[in-house]
Every structure is written in structure tokens, then in C-alpha cells.
Structure 1
Amino acid sequence: MDVEFEYGDGTVTAALPDDTAVVRPETATHEPPPLEDPEAATRAALAAPLGSDPVRGLVSRGSTVTIAFPDRVKGGAQETAHRKVSMRLLFEELDAAGVRREDVRLVCAIGLHRKNRREEFLDYLGREVVDAVPAANLVNHDAEDPTGMVDLGTSALGDPVAMNRALAESDLTVLIGHTAGNPYGGFSGGYKMPSTGLTSWRSIAAHHSPRSLYRDDFVPASTASRFREQLTAIGERMQEAMPQPFFSVDAVLDSRSRQLGVYAGRIPDVERASWPLATARTDLRVPGEPADVLVIGVPRNFHYGAGMGSNPILMMQAIGASVVRAKRAMVDKPVVIAAAVCDGWFNDTEFPPYRQAFERLQSCQHPADMREHQDELATDPEWVYRYRHRFGYHPFHAFSMIYMGGIAREHSAAIYVAGAKQPGLARAMGARTTATIEEALAETTAILGRTPKVLAVPRLSQPAFHLTSGGA
């Protein structure tokens, strides 16, 4: 069969065995139906929150409120998108409580991602939300702001915790999250949202690191991991320094970022209530025996931004994340084939200092050895300045991506990058290179001595599933 894969700025078509299992959102009939009226569902969740009084009962006139929300990387921008709907209804709650708009701060929980521009806020929040508060009250989290962060010592698990000062100084902090499938800890939302979006690079480095990612409980994607325990412990430590616990408004999203369910209240209650539905949406059983080969298409521009399929570090991260998602549907040591342009465009503007991190990696025997270089680059004044003032990713982000890319090496028999324009860059990341997907499959067939069972995920730019084999 012919399958079209994302590749660079376009697509590439490959001839695969006729029994290939192809995973596409539009053919995933297991997904629950989206809510007919997401606004009504959100209003109902806010009216009867889990483990908490409604927002209007938690604040009053004179109260200060922080509303934190995820950045453009996830969640959708349609008129009924969760962020837009929740924000509008939260303002109704705050108005009813007498909270003044000038006492409300909107914080984009970017973590170590690049800061969002005002036009991007307008796109995924909408004009009504952006104009609801004074312009100075709509801000990006800044993990390097010396006056905007509070050092809280360590979590119960010993991880360093520093958080956005607004959380400590606000009478109430509301989190808008998306309970969507995520290779890092199973799902987004819940405690993952504040623990990765509103903390410091050292807090994030405590779990986005080899000691957490290279444990047996991290792969396949799961909420039952040390990684997830660390997120919870960090979030709980943050709450200890706050006037009230987080009030969370999470939505389970489908593959088109439409709400399947909306849950509000305390984070532990919201996680328990939302994860079963999120599991039903995210887990997909693939017919047949476990696959010998996973074939993916890597576009140049998706998720973190432009450069995913051309920057070799981000390309390998995408491969590692795909392995985490598909682990249950593959043999113990599968071959992974990625169609990726890998042309050496690092997008230095948005991803400093990825090029320098790539150079350091060439002196390492294993991706985990990059820990020796963390402090050097993650604290470099130039790279920190670019994160704070030039819309660049934080320098530690490169290390977290390298570590996730290392998972592909740990859990694969071989990695092929097909179609690389600069194949030496792919080989420098530990991959073999071929001109086409078919050539990589031919080499795999020769190694196995038989036609391999193939699993294909052609479009990584679309929300993914966590795969399991054995379906009829």
C-alpha cells in the first residue's frame, strides 16, 4: 500500500506492506463523541466543582486572582476551544464575586518554551479575553525573572522547587489545563501544568532528566511513573506556599482539540475524574501482532515550532516521543524509520543554544552524558537573555529534548532517518540514514530474514494516541 507521510514542508509517499497498520485520527473510531455544548458543560463544572467551593465562593471584592493557561503548543484556537470558553466563564464567576478586572492577572504557563507574542494571545485566547484585563496583566511566565520567582526549597521527593511569585501573592490561582495524551507522564493537565509551566529550569530539570526518563516506568507513557510522582510532589509543595490550593479547570480533548468532558475543582479530584475518559480517548488498540517496525513522518513545523524536522535534536526528540507512545504496540526492540528532512536548519532564533548543545553532544558517549554541560549552557547570560527578551526557548530545553531523544536509542534495535538532506547530522544523533523509507525497510527485511510487521504513524503534527497491539 502507498502511505503519505509528513516530511519537511510537504509530504513523501512510501510503498509499505499491504498489512501495515496505519494510525490516523480520522480512522480512530474509538474516540468518544465531542460535547455538543462545551460552554454548558464548562458552566456546569464550575457550578459544582470537585472537592471545592465554586470560584465565586473562594474570592470577593479586593481579592487578587491569577489565571494560568497553557501556551500555543496545545489546546486549539477555535471559538469553542477550552481556553476561550473557560476564560470567559471564569470572568463571569469573578464578576459575580465582585473581583475587579485590574486585580486579575493572566499568566501564560510557558515553562521553558519561548514567550508568546500578543498576536498569538489574540489567536488562541480571542480578543474578548485579551481585552478583559489591563494589557500589563497579561504576561508570560518568566522562569529567570529574579524578582518574579519564589524559591520554595525542595519537594517531598527532594526536587528543587521555585515558582512564579504571582501564585504566592494571589488570593486564588486558577489553572486551565488540557487532559490530553502526553509522552511525558501520560497526560497533560493536572499537576503537570503548574509543575512544568510555572516553575524554574532547575525544577523542570529534576524530572526532564535521565534519572527520571530512563527508568523502566517511564516507557510506555503512563501516569504510574516516578516522573508523575515528581510532578505531584512539586505541585503540592507549590500549594503549601499559596493562600489556597490550585483551582483547576481541565478538559479532556479529542484529536481535533474538541472537549469530550470538562472537570473543575482541586487537582487530585480533577485528575481522578478526567483520566478514565482521557484514557478511553488516548489509548488505541492496533490490530494484529506487535510491530517490528515503526514508520513516522516528521514535518518541519509542529508542536514546539518551526524546526522540528530539520533541527537534528528536535527530530530525535520526536522519534523518542513516538517510541514512548507506541511502545505497547511494538516488539521489545523495534526498528524505527523516520521520514525527516534533517537539513541542518536549527532555527537559531527560537531555539538557542541548540547548535552549541549539538556540538557538545558529539563529545558524549551517551545522551545522558550531556548532564556535564547543563549548567554551562543553561545559565549562560546570552542564552538566558534570549529566552527572556528575544522569544527564544530556554537553554535547558535543548537538554530535555536530547534526553527524550535518547529514549529512542534505549528502546530501539535501530533508528533510520530517511530522506535527510544532511545525513551526517542524523548519523551524529545515532541514526542510520537512507534516501527513502523503502530502502530502510529493505535493510530491515534483510536483517530480520522476513517481511516485517509495520506500524505507520504518518502525521505527527496531529494529536497522537498511545498504542497497544492485539486488537481484532
Structure 2
Amino acid sequence: MQVELEYGDGHLTAELPDDSVVVRPETATHEPEPLPDPVAATREALAAPLGSDPVTELVGPGSTVTIAFPDRVKGGTQATAHRKVVLPALLEQLDRAGVRRENIRLVCAIGLHRKNRRAEFVDYLGRAVVDAVPEANLVNHDAEDPNGIIDLGTSALGDPVGMNAALAESDLSILVGHTAGNPYGGFSGGYKMPSTGLTTWRSIASHHAPRSLYRDDFVPASTTSRFREQLTAIGQRMEAAMPRPFFSVDAVLDSRSRQLGVYAGAIPDVERASWPLATARTDLRVPGPPADVLVIGVPRNFHYGAGMGSNPILMTQAIGASVVRAKKALVEKPVVIAAAVCDGWFNETEFPPYAAAYDVLQQCQHPSDMREYHEQLATDPEWIYRYRHHYGYHPFHAFSMIYMGGIAREHSSAVYVAGARRPGLARGMGARTTATVEEALAEATAILGRKPRVLAVPRLSSPAFHLTATEE
């Protein structure tokens, strides 16, 4: 069969075995139906929160409130996107409670991602929300702001915890999140939201690193991993330093970022209520036994931003994340083939430290050896300045992406990058290179000594599924 794989700024056609299993969002008929009226469902969730009183009973005149929301990486921008629905509803409730708009802060929980421009806020929050509070009250989290971070010591599991100071200074902190399939800990939302979005690089380095990612319980994606336990412990340490626990409003999203369900209240209750529906959306059973070969198409632009299919670190992160998601549909040591342009465009405007991190990686025997360079790169004044003032990703983000990419090495027999325009860069990430997908398949066939069973995920720019084979 011929399959169109995302590749660079377009597509390439690959010839795969006729019995290949191809996973596309439009063929995933198992997904629950989206909510017919997400606005009404959101209002109902806020009116009867889980494990908490309603917002209107938690605050009053003179109260200060922080509302944190995810960045543009996920969640959609349509008129009924979760952020665009829940933020006006929350502002309306705060108005009824007598909270003054100048006492409301909107914080984009970027973690170590690049900061968002005001025009981007307008795009995915809506003009009415952006204009609802004073301009100075709509901000990006800044993990390096010396006056905006509180050091909370360590979590119950011994991980360092730094917290956005607004959370401690506000009478109530509300989290707007998405319960969506995620290779990091199973789902976004819940405690993952504050523990990665409103903290510091040292805190994130405690779990987005080999000590957690290379454990047996991290792959396949799971909510019962040590990684997830660390997120919970960090979030709970934050809550212990706040006037009251987080009030969370999470939406389970389908593959088109439409709400399947909306849940509000205390984080543990919201997680328990939302994860079953999120599992029904995210988990997809694919026909047949586990596949010998995973074929993926890697576009230049998706998820973290422009350059994912050309920046070798981000390209390899996408490969590792794909293995985490598909692990239960693959043999123990599959061959992975990624069609990626890998032309050396690191997009140094948004990912300024990545070329330097790549060069350091070339001095290492294994991705986990990069931990020796955390202090050198993650505290570099130039990279920190670019993160804080020039819309660049934080330098530690490069390390976390390298570590996820290393999962592909740990859980496959070989990784091929097909079609790389600068194949040496792909080889520098530990991949083998071929000119075409067909050549890589021929090599995989030789390795196996028989015709391989192939699983293909042509579009990584689409919301992903966690895959399981129907046969042992």
C-alpha cells in the first residue's frame, strides 16, 4: 500500500506492506462523542465541583485570585475550545462573588516553554478574556524570575520544589487544564499542570530525566509510574504552601480538541473522575499481533513549535514519544523508521540552546550522560536571557527532549531516519539513516529474516493515541 507520511513542510509517499496497520485520527471510531453543549457542561461542572465548594463560596470581596492556563501547545483555538469557554465562566463567577478584576491574575503555565506574545493570547483565549483584566495581570510564568519564584524545599519524595509566587499570594488559585493523552505520565492536566507549568527547571529536572524516564514503569505511558507519583508529590507540596488547595477545571479532549467531558474541583477528585473517559478516548486497540516495525511521519512544525522535524533533538524526542505511546502494540525491541527532513534548522530563535546541547551530546556515550552538563547549560546567562526576554525555550528543555529521545534507543533494536537532508545530524542522535522509507524497511526485513509486521502513524501533528495490539 502507499501511505502519505508527514515530512518536512509537506508529505512523502512510502510503499508499505499491504497488511500494514495505519493509524489515523479519522479512522479511530472508538472515540466518545463530543459534548453537544460544552458551555452548558462547563457551567454544570462549576456549579457542582468535586471535593470542593463552588468558586463563589471560596472567595469574596477583597479576595485575590490566580487563574493558570496551558500554553498554545495543546487545547485548540476554536470558539468553543476549553480555555475560551471556561475562562469567561470563571470570570463571571468571580464577578458574582465580588472579586475585583484588578485582583485577578491570569498566568500562562508555560513551565520551560517559550513565552507567549499578546497576539497569541488573543488567538487562543479570545479578545474578551485578554481585555477582561488589566494588561499587567495577564502574564507568562517565568521560571527564572528572582522575585517571582518561592523555594519550597523538597516534596515528600525528595524532589526540589520551586513555585510561582502568585500561588502563595492569592486567596484562591484555579487551574484550567486538559486531560489529554500524554507520553509523560499518561495524561496532561491534574497535578501535571502545576508541577511542570508553574515551577522551575530544577524541579522539572527531577522527573524529566533518566532517573524517572528510564525506569521500567515509564514505558508504556502510564498514570501509575514513579514519574506520575513525583508530579503528585510536587503539586501537593505546592498546595501545602498555599492558602487553600488548587481548584481545577479540566476538560477531556478528543482528537480534534473538542470537549468530551468537563470536571471541576479538587485535583485528586478531578483526576479520578476524568481519567476513565480520557482512557476511553486515548487508548486504541489495533488489529493483529504486536508489530515488528513502527513507521512515523515527522513534519517540520507541530506540538512544541516550528522546527520539530528539522531540529535533530526535537525530531528524536518525537520518535521516543511515539515509542512510549505505541509500546503495547509493538514487539519488545521493534525497529522504528521515521520519515524526517532533519536538515539542520534548529530554529535558534525559539530554541536558542539546542545547537549547543547537540554539540555537548556528541561528547557523551549515552543520553543519560548529559546530566553532567545540567549546570553548565541550564544556568547559562545568555540562554536564560533569551528565555525570559526573547521568546526562547528554557535551556533545560533541550535536556528533557534528549532524554525522551533516548527512550527510542532503550526500547528498540534500531532507529532509522529516512530522508534526512543532513543525515550526519540524525546519526549524531544515535539513528541509522537511509534515503527512503523503503530502504529502511528492506534493512528491517534483513534484520528480522522475514517480512515484518508494520504499524504506521503517518501524522504526528494530530493528537495521538496510546496503542495496544489486539493479539498477544
- TM category (shorter chain) comes to over 0.9
CA distance in structure 2 between the aligned counterparts of 1:428 and 1:173, rounded to whole angstroms: 44
Cα pair 2:69 2:109 within 8 Å, conserved: yes
Tell me which residue corresponds to 2:75. Answer: 75
Tell me which residue corresponds to 1:114. Answer: 114
Cα pair 1:313 1:398 within 8 Å, conserved: yes
Matches within 5 A, 1:419-458: 419-458=419-458
Matches within 5 A, 1:389-428: 389-428=389-428
Cα pair 1:194 1:235 within 8 Å, conserved: yes
Q: Partner of 1:356: helix, strand, or coil?
A: helix
Matches within 5 A, 1:182-331: 182-331=182-331
CA distance in structure 1 between the aligned counterparts of 2:269 and 2:155, rounded to whole angstroms: 21
Gap runs ≥5 in structure 1: none
CA distance in structure 2 between the aligned counterparts of 1:311 and 1:91, rounded to whole angstroms: 40
- Asked if 1:460 is matched to 2:460, the reply is yes
Give the partner amino acid of 1:128: A
Give the partner amino acid of 1:340: A
Tell me which residue corresponds to 1:49. Answer: 49
Q: What is the Cα deviation at residue 184 of structure 1?
A: 0.1
Cα pair 1:285 1:471 within 8 Å, conserved: no
Cα pair 2:115 2:387 within 8 Å, conserved: yes
Q: What is the Cα deviation at residue 449 of structure 1?
A: 1.4
Tell me which residue corresponds to 1:139. Answer: 139
CA distance in structure 2 between the aligned counterparts of 1:448 and 1:62, rounded to whole angstroms: 69
Q: What is the Cα deviation at residue 455 of structure 1?
A: 0.2
Cα pair 2:170 2:243 within 8 Å, conserved: yes
Q: Partner of 1:264: helix, strand, or coil?
A: strand
Task: Name the CA shift for 1:471/1:94 in 2 (closer, same or farther; >3 Å).
Answer: farther
Task: Name the CA shift for 1:11/1:202 in 2 (closer, same or farther; >3 Å).
Answer: same
Tell me which residue corresponds to 1:372. Answer: 372
Tell me which residue corresponds to 2:166. Answer: 166
Q: Partner of 2:341: helix, strand, or coil?
A: coil
Give the partner amino acid of 1:434: T
Q: Partner of 1:346: helix, strand, or coil?
A: coil
Cα pair 1:168 1:242 within 8 Å, conserved: yes
Q: Partner of 1:357: helix, strand, or coil?
A: helix
Give the partner amino acid of 2:82: H
Cα pair 1:167 1:242 within 8 Å, conserved: yes
TM-score of the aligned structures, taking structure 1 as reference length = 1.00
Give the partner amino acid of 2:464: A
CA distance in structure 2 between the aligned counterparts of 1:273 and 1:75, rounded to whole angstroms: 19
CA distance in structure 1 between the aligned counterparts of 2:449 and 2:361, rounded to whole angstroms: 34
Q: What is the Cα deviation at residue 471 of structure 1?
A: 6.2
Tell me which residue corresponds to 1:123. Answer: 123
Tell me which residue corresponds to 1:84. Answer: 84
CA distance in structure 2 between the aligned counterparts of 1:46 and 1:20, rounded to whole angstroms: 45
Q: Partner of 2:470: helix, strand, or coil?
A: strand
Q: Partner of 1:51: helix, strand, or coil?
A: coil
- 1:104-134 superposed Cα distances (whole Å, 9 cap, x missing partner): 0000000000000001000000001101101
CA distance in structure 1 between the aligned counterparts of 2:415 and 2:312, rounded to whole angstroms: 13
Q: Partner of 2:405: helix, strand, or coil?
A: helix
CA distance in structure 1 between the aligned counterparts of 2:216 and 2:93, rounded to whole angstroms: 44
Gap runs ≥5 in structure 2: none
CA distance in structure 2 between the aligned counterparts of 1:83 and 1:185, rounded to whole angstroms: 22
CA distance in structure 2 between the aligned counterparts of 1:93 and 1:269, rounded to whole angstroms: 21
Q: Partner of 1:293: helix, strand, or coil?
A: strand
Cα pair 2:195 2:231 within 8 Å, conserved: yes
CA distance in structure 2 between the aligned counterparts of 1:56 and 1:282, rounded to whole angstroms: 33
CA distance in structure 1 between the aligned counterparts of 2:448 and 2:78, rounded to whole angstroms: 47
Q: Partner of 1:150: helix, strand, or coil?
A: strand
Q: What is the Cα deviation at residue 281 of structure 1?
A: 0.3
CA distance in structure 2 between the aligned counterparts of 1:239 and 1:374, rounded to whole angstroms: 28
Tell me which residue corresponds to 1:5. Answer: 5
- 1:185-214 superposed Cα distances (whole Å, 9 cap, x missing partner): 000000000000000100000000100000
Tell me which residue corresponds to 1:37. Answer: 37
Q: Partner of 1:248: helix, strand, or coil?
A: strand
Give the partner amino acid of 2:134: P
Q: Partner of 1:166: helix, strand, or coil?
A: helix
CA distance in structure 2 between the aligned counterparts of 1:243 and 1:352, rounded to whole angstroms: 37
Q: Percent identity?
A: 83
Cα pair 2:290 2:471 within 8 Å, conserved: no
- 1:224-264 superposed Cα distances (whole Å, 9 cap, x missing partner): 10000000000000000000100000000000000000000
- 1:22-54 superposed Cα distances (whole Å, 9 cap, x missing partner): 000000000000000000000000000000000
- Number of residue pairs matched by the alignment: 472
- 1:315-349 superposed Cα distances (whole Å, 9 cap, x missing partner): 00000000000000000000000000000000111
CA distance in structure 2 between the aligned counterparts of 1:168 and 1:397, rounded to whole angstroms: 26
Give the partner amino acid of 2:334: P
Give the partner amino acid of 2:175: L
Cα pair 2:177 2:248 within 8 Å, conserved: yes
Q: What is the Cα deviation at residue 447 of structure 1?
A: 1.6
Cα pair 1:320 1:408 within 8 Å, conserved: yes
Give the partner amino acid of 1:84: K
Give the partner amino acid of 2:448: L
Give the partner amino acid of 2:38: P
CA distance in structure 2 between the aligned counterparts of 1:198 and 1:471, rounded to whole angstroms: 42
CA distance in structure 1 between the aligned counterparts of 2:458 and 2:222, rounded to whole angstroms: 23
Tell me which residue corresponds to 1:99. Answer: 99
Q: What is the Cα deviation at residue 357 of structure 1?
A: 0.5
Cα pair 1:112 1:197 within 8 Å, conserved: yes
Tell me which residue corresponds to 2:21. Answer: 21
Q: Partner of 2:280: helix, strand, or coil?
A: helix
Cα pair 1:175 1:248 within 8 Å, conserved: yes
- 1:258-313 superposed Cα distances (whole Å, 9 cap, x missing partner): 00000000000000000000000000000001000000000000000001000000
CA distance in structure 1 between the aligned counterparts of 2:427 and 2:149, rounded to whole angstroms: 40
CA distance in structure 1 between the aligned counterparts of 2:352 and 2:379, rounded to whole angstroms: 12
- 1:341-364 superposed Cα distances (whole Å, 9 cap, x missing partner): 000000111102100110000010
CA distance in structure 2 between the aligned counterparts of 1:19 and 1:94, rounded to whole angstroms: 56
CA distance in structure 2 between the aligned counterparts of 1:463 and 1:294, rounded to whole angstroms: 17
